[in-house]
Amino acid sequence: MNVEQAAKQLEALGNPTRLQVYRALVRAGHAGLPVRQLQERVGIAAASTLSHHLRRLILTGLVSQERQATTLICRAVYPAMDALVGFLADECCADAGCTTRNDAA
Amino acid sequence: MNVEQAAKQLEALGNPTRLQVYRALVRAGHAGLPVRQLQERVGIAAASTLSHHLRRLILTGLVSQERQATTLICRAVYPAMDALVGFLADECCADAGCTTRNDAA
DNA sequence: CACGTATTTCGAGGATCATCGAACGACGTC
DNA sequence: GACGTCGTTCGATGATCCTCGAAATACGTG
């Protein structure tokens, strides 16, 4: 995980709408969520807007899609989140002290 | 930590320049770093640009400043980072499985 | 108080983003 | 193959961002 990649993912999560989308997907677990339900759950007016946000999340590797018949199932990519959190935690505790990683170290 | 606040902090870290600034501060530890050194270390052409980025980091609570004579010492606010990482980790592992928090749970 | 260094604020430029409606493509059904 | 649903792509508009140079402010020194 380099700085550029991390920044892209952070930027992707740095929009309130996208963060809620991602949050909904994470909470949905491995089963994922179809785009339609995602739109209702987060409360996005236009489907095109959600599609736009989803594309960004997918391009950064935070979300994946799988076709199931007519609907597209969206899922959070947990390893990506894992790597991102790990990057932040490593930066945080590399030379300084915070509690995030101290209990693990 | 609500979604709005988290999104603001993620957005603040979602710019490559700002992420590098923050990274430099985190690595500098509790001693912090004066603005000038920060500019040189990250390699920002204009001081005004760095000032602009610093303001955003400060407004989101990720960075603090303290005046020492003529220089301003910048420091990473570790509890803020801690809370942000915690938010992400909680979201990630609330209902689903990833390894970030599993070793702690 | 004039001066120099450190840093911010101001103003402007080009670039990117967020959101929407409308049109289009993908897929199963009748 | 006509149709309905699901979702994306296109095009446009207003807002925000990033970057910079120039001017202004904060602070210690002589």
Mark yes or no for CB contact B26/A85 under 8 Å.
Answer: no
**What residue numbers bound the domain in which A93 lies?**
3-104
C-alpha distance from residue B33 to each of A85, B9, B38, B73 (Å): 24, 21, 6, 5
**Predicted confidence (pLDDT) at residue A103 exceeds the cutoff of 90:** no
Question: For residue B98, what pLDDT is reported?
Answer: 53
CA distance A69 to chain B (A): 25
- d(CA A69, C1' D5) / Å: 12
Q: Which residues of B touch A (CB under 8 A)?
A: 3-4, 6-16, 19-20, 22-23, 26-30, 76, 78-79, 81-82, 84-86, 88-89, 91-92, 94-100, 103-104
Residue-averaged pLDDT of chain A? 88
Amino acid at B78: Y
Q: What is the pLDDT of residues A55-83, one digit of tens each?
A: 999 999 999 999 988 899 999 999 999 99
Q: Are A73 and B69 in contact (CB under 8 A)?
A: no
Q: How many domains does chain A have?
A: 1
CATH (domain of A29) = 1.10.10.10
Whole-prediction pTM: 0.88
Are B62 and B74 spatial neighbours (Cβ–Cβ below 8 Å)?
A: no
Mean pLDDT in consecutive groups of 10 residues from the start of chain B, 105 residues: 93 97 94 95 96 97 93 95 90 55 37
Return the closest nucleotide (C1') to the Cα of B39.
C7
Say how far apart CA B60 and CA B57 lie, in whole Å. 5
